[in-house]
Chains A and B, each alone.
Chain A
Amino acid sequence: MLQLMRIAVMAHHALMAYKLRSLFVICGVGLGIASLTIIVASVDGANRKALEIVEFFGPDAVFVLGGNITTRAVGQRTLTLSYDDAERIRQSLPGAYLVVPMRAKRNLTVRGNGGSMQLPVVVGATARYAEVWNWPLAEGTDLTEKQVARGAKVCLIGDTPARELFGTKSPVGKTVLLDSLPVQIVGRLAYRGFSGGGGSIDERIIMPITTLTQRFNMDRKYFRALRVKFHEPQYMDAHSENLRSLLRHLHGLEEGEEDDFSILTADEILKFLAMFKGGLVVFLGITAAVSIVVGGFVLANLFYLSVSERKFEIGLKKAMGAKKWTILAQFLIEALLLTVAGAALGMGLGMGFGQLLERLEILEIVFSWKIFFLSLGAAALIGLVFGLKPARQAAEMDAIEALKG
C-alpha cells in the first residue's frame, strides 16, 4: 500500500513534468467523454420526455383524429368526426367513461390587462378538460357541463398567456378579449413545459367547444378530434380495436376501405418516440464511440513515445531496485490519472454543451449519477486498455539496455 501510494506520487510528478503531452491526452479523452455525456444525457432526456408525454396523454386514453393522419398533413385533414359519433361512442362503447370532442381555432389574438398576445391555438373542449388531460389547475376551476351546455363565454388560460398578460397577478375572474369576444377566465392551467401541435402547449387558451363553434362560426356538425378515456387500461388494445370498428360502422366504411379517422394510443406515441430516440442513440453513439477510441489511440501513441523517451528513467528505477510491477503500476496510474482527468474535463464540456443545447431548445437533457459513473468507467477502461501495452513494455525493459539509452 505504501509502495502504491509512492508510485502514485511518482506518476503524478511525471505527468506534471510532461504537461503538454498530458494535456493532449486529457483533451483527446475529454472530447470522447464529452460526447458520451451528451448522448447519455439526451437519451435520458428523451426518455423523461416520453414518459411525461405518455403521462400527460394518459395510459388509459386514446385520441381520435378526423381523417387519416398518415396520408394528410395538419390542416389538410377532412372533418369526419361528428357529434353523433361522440354520442354513440359515449352510449355504446364498452369501457369508455369519458368522451371529449375537441376543436381548435388557430391564430387568435388575446388582449387583456393592457397587453396582447398572438395565440397559436384556442382549444374548444367539453367539461372537465383539465381532469381529462391529467393537467392540474394552478388555480380556479375546470370547465363545467353547464358552461358547455349553454356556450358560456369562459375559458381556462395556459401558463404563457397568463404570465404575458397578468404577470404574477392572478388572472382568475378577469376578462380578456379573444379577437373581439370577451371571455372570463375561470381557471389557470399549471405549467407543462413541452411543445406539440404548433408551439408550446402552455400557450393555449381552452374554452367550451360550444362557445368556440358558435362564436367563431365553425362547422357545428363535425369536430377535429375526440378524446376517449377507458376503464381497465390493461385492455387498451381491445378498447382501441372496438372503437375502430364502431367508428368504421358509424361511417359506413366497407371492408377494404381505409379508415377516415386515426386512433392514437399512448403505446403508439411511445413507439414513435422510441423510433426517434433510436436514431439519436445510433448517431450519437457512433460519434461517442469513435471519439473515445480516438482518445485511446492518442493516449497509446503518446505513451509509447513516453516509454521510449523515458527509457533512462525506467532503467534507473530498475537499477535502484524497482520491481516489474512497480514500473507497470506507475505507467498504468499515469494513464488512469490522465483518462480520469479527461473524464472530468469531458463531463464539464458535455454538461456545458448539453445545457447550451437545452437553452437553445434543441435537445432535452437529463444529467444523473449514471453519467458520472459511466464516464469514469469508460475513461478508466481506456486508460487500462490503451495504457497496458506501453506500460508492460516499460516493465519488461532490461535495466542495462534501458540505461544505455
Chain B
Amino acid sequence: MTASLLSLTDITRTFLQGDQRIEVLKSISLDIRAGEFLALLGTSGSGKSTLMHILGLLDRPSAGTFLLNGRDVSEMDDDGLSELRNRTIGFIFQSFYLIPYASALDNVLLPGLYSPTSTAKLRKRAQDLLSLVGLGDRMHFKPSQLSGGQQQRVAIARALINDPDILLADEPTGQLDSATSTEIMTLMADINSQGKTVILVTHDESTAAVAKRKIYMEDGRIGEGG
C-alpha cells in the first residue's frame, strides 16, 4: 500500500454569513494516492467547490487535519501555500482563465515565472507542452484567436509547466461541446496515465466517465460509489 498523496481527516469548513454559521463541509475524511484519476461529483451547493478549494490549497479547513505528502498544511500562511501550490498543483478552470493580452506561450509560462526555474528551461518546456497538446503551431496566438477547446488545451499545458504532482480540474468541459469535451477528457486521461494525479470536479456523470475512482458529494458529506 502506497502512502497517501493527500490525506484529509475530519475536515470541516464553516462560513459565517451575518451571524449564521453555515457548515459547508461536514467531517470529511478522504485519502488520495499518487497516480489516481479521481472524479469529485456533486450538484451545485453540495460543497464540492469548497472541497476543491481546500484540496487546491486555496482555502484552509476550519477544523481537521490535511496532510499533503505527509506534511500538515492547515496551519501554513498565505505565502507558504502559494509556494506549495506553485510546485505541486496545476489548475484547470471551467472558463480557461487565460490572460487575454498574452500569447499562448506566455500564458503557459506564467506559473513558471513564479518558480525558480530558469527562463530558458521554461520556454523549452512550454514549447514542448504546447506541442504535446497539439498547439505547436499556434504558440504565438492570443486566446481570442483560439477556439474554446484550444484555449482549454493551453490551460492544460499551463497547468503542467511546473511539473506538479496534482492536476486539479474544475468543470474543465463546462463550456465546451461534447466532441471537444471528449478530446479534452482523453487528454486528461493521457496525462494521468503518465503518472500525474488528476482530480476532476464536475456535476456531469459523462465527463467523469474516464475517471478511475468517483466520489459523490451531497450536503457537505462524501460517499464513494461507481
B58 to A399, Cβ gap below 8 A? yes
| B82 contact from A3, A13, A323, Cβ within 8 A | A323
A317 to B110, Cβ gap below 8 A? yes
A321 to B58, CA, bound (A): 10
A13 to B78, CA, bound (A): 26
Q: Which residues of B contact A48 (CB under 8 A)?
A: none
Q: Which of B100-123 contact A (CB under 8 A)?
A: 100-102, 106, 110-111, 113-116, 119
B91 to A320, Cβ gap below 8 A? yes
Q: Flag whether A305 is at the interface (Cβ < 8 A).
A: no
Q: Flag whether B47 is at the interface (Cβ < 8 A).
A: no
Q: Flag whether B224 is at the interface (Cβ < 8 A).
A: no
Would you give the shortest CB distance from B188 to chain A, in whole angstroms? Answer: 18
A318 to B99, Cβ gap below 8 A? no
Given A3-B114, A326-B114, A400-B53, decide whether A320 and B86 contact each other with a Cβ distance below 8 A. yes
Q: Which of A312-340 contact B (CB under 8 A)?
A: 312-313, 316-326
In the complex, residue of chain B having the shortest beta-carbon distance to the beta carbon of A396: B78
A323 to B101, Cβ gap below 8 A? no
| A320 contact from B101, B114, B116, Cβ within 8 A | B114
Q: Which of B59-114 contact A (CB under 8 A)?
A: 59, 78-79, 82-83, 85-87, 91, 93, 97, 99-102, 106, 110-111, 113-114
Q: Which of A72-99 contact B (CB under 8 A)?
A: none
Would you give the shortest CB distance from A312 to chain B, in whole angstroms? Answer: 6
In the complex, residue of chain B having the shortest beta-carbon distance to the beta carbon of A9: B113
Q: Which of A283-329 contact B (CB under 8 A)?
A: 312-313, 316-326
Q: Flag whether A362 is at the interface (Cβ < 8 A).
A: no
Q: Which residues of A contact B149 (CB under 8 A)?
A: none
Q: Flag whether A250 is at the interface (Cβ < 8 A).
A: no
A313 to B58, CA, bound (A): 15
Would you give the shortest CB distance from B206 to chain A, in whole angstroms? Answer: 26
A16 to B101, Cβ gap below 8 A? yes
A324 to B91, CA, bound (A): 19
Q: Flag whether B56 is at the interface (Cβ < 8 A).
A: yes
Q: Which residues of A contact B114 (CB under 8 A)?
A: 3, 317, 320-323, 326
A3 to B87, CA, bound (A): 15
Would you give the shortest CB distance from B23 to chain A, in whole angstroms? Answer: 18
A151 to B5, CA, bound (A): 113
Q: Which residues of B contact A246 (CB under 8 A)?
A: none
Q: Which residues of A contact B85 (CB under 8 A)?
A: 319-321
Would you give the shortest CB distance from B115 to chain A, in whole angstroms? Answer: 7
Q: Which residues of A contact B99 (CB under 8 A)?
A: 313, 316
A317 to B87, CA, bound (A): 14
Given A2-B116, A326-B114, A399-B58, decide whether A13 and B87 contact each other with a Cβ distance below 8 A. no
Given A316-B99, A400-B59, decide whether A321 and B106 contact each other with a Cβ distance below 8 A. no
| A318 contact from B53, B82, B101, Cβ within 8 A | B82
Number of interface residues of A (CB under 8 A): 25
Would you give the shortest CB distance from A13 to chain B, in whole angstroms? Answer: 6
Q: Which of B109-139 contact A (CB under 8 A)?
A: 110-111, 113-116, 119
| A322 contact from B82, B101, B158, Cβ within 8 A | B82
Q: Flag whether A388 is at the interface (Cβ < 8 A).
A: no
Q: Flag whether A6 is at the interface (Cβ < 8 A).
A: yes
A322 to B112, CA, bound (A): 10
| B97 contact from A321, A325, A403, Cβ within 8 A | A403
Q: Flag whether A360 is at the interface (Cβ < 8 A).
A: no
Q: Flag whether A238 is at the interface (Cβ < 8 A).
A: no
A320 to B110, CA, bound (A): 8
Q: Which residues of B contact A349 (CB under 8 A)?
A: none
A391 to B58, CA, bound (A): 21
Q: Which residues of A contact B115 (CB under 8 A)?
A: 321
Q: Which residues of B contact A317 (CB under 8 A)?
A: 110, 114
> Looking at A320, A323, A326, which has the most chain B CB atoms within 10 Å of its CB?
A320
A312 to B79, Cβ gap below 8 A? no
A324 to B83, CA, bound (A): 11
In the complex, residue of chain A having the shortest beta-carbon distance to the beta carbon of B113: A6
Would you give the shortest CB distance from A252 to chain B, in whole angstroms? Answer: 88
A403 to B93, Cβ gap below 8 A? yes
A313 to B102, CA, bound (A): 11
Q: Which residues of A contact B106 (CB under 8 A)?
A: 13
A317 to B158, CA, bound (A): 12
A312 to B91, CA, bound (A): 14
| B78 contact from A6, A316, A324, Cβ within 8 A | A324
> Looking at B59, B83, B113, which has the most chain A CB atoms within 10 Å of its CB?
B113
Q: Which of A37-91 contact B (CB under 8 A)?
A: none
Q: Which residues of B contact A321 (CB under 8 A)?
A: 82-83, 85-87, 111, 114-115, 162
A7 to B110, CA, bound (A): 10
In the complex, residue of chain A having the shortest beta-carbon distance to the beta carbon of B107: A316
Q: Flag whether A17 is at the interface (Cβ < 8 A).
A: yes
Q: Flag whether A14 is at the interface (Cβ < 8 A).
A: yes
A320 to B99, CA, bound (A): 12
6 contacts between A and B (CB under 8 A): A16-B101, A17-B101, A316-B110, A320-B114, A321-B114, A322-B114
Please list the 6 inter-chain residue pairs (A to B) with the smallest Cβ-Cβ separation, ordered nearest first.
A321-B86, A17-B101, A320-B111, A6-B113, A321-B114, A323-B79
Known contacts A13-B106, A320-B110, A321-B86; 12 further A-B pairs (Cβ under 8 A): A3-B113, A7-B113, A13-B102, A16-B101, A17-B101, A313-B99, A318-B82, A319-B58, A321-B111, A324-B82, A326-B114, A400-B53
